[in-house]
Amino acid sequence: MAYDEGLAQRVREVFDGNTGVDENKMFGGLAFMVEGNMCVGVMGDELMVRVGPDQYEESLAQPDAREMDFTGRSMKGMVYVGIDGLDSDDGLRSWVDRGLAFVMTLPPK
């Protein structure tokens, strides 16, 4: 599965200036790692966001978010966000910030 390079560039711009951010190709997409922990990723034209277990249900209740079921089973703490939820820079930043808020609670790897 190819990933949307335009969306990946927009995510890079959101992370611009943050230290400890790396990119890794994985799952057929592009993952953005913060201090070694997966934060967000671009899969096709969707954003994959690691929101954590405490924010999972609230995140799913947001428009354009759905369960991440990459393996055919729901991955708790991870959501996909469709392109309609990423149209604006503020919408994209909001989702990246959700992922960042969770991974900042994790120890660096």
pLDDT > 90? residue 101: yes
Residue 95 is predicted with a pLDDT of 98
- pLDDT tens figures, 7-17: 999 999 999 99
DSSP secondary structure of the chain: ----HHHHHHHHHHHTT-SSEEEEEETTEEEEEETTEEEEEEETTEEEEE--SSSHHHHHTSTTEEE--TTSS--TTEEEE-GGGGSSHHHHHHHHHHHHHHHTTSPP-
Residue 4, φ and ψ in degrees, nearest 5 = -75, 110
Report how far residue 79's alpha carbon sits from residue 5's, in angstroms, rounded to the nearest whole number: 20
- pLDDT tens figures, 18-75: 889 999 998 789 999 999 999 999 999 999 999 999 999 999 999 999 999 877 788 8
Beta-sheet strand order (sheet of 65-67): 21-26, 29-34, 37-43, 46-50, 78-81, 65-67
pLDDT > 80? residue 91: yes
Residue 1 is predicted with a pLDDT of 60
pLDDT > 90? residue 6: yes
Residue 42 is predicted with a pLDDT of 97
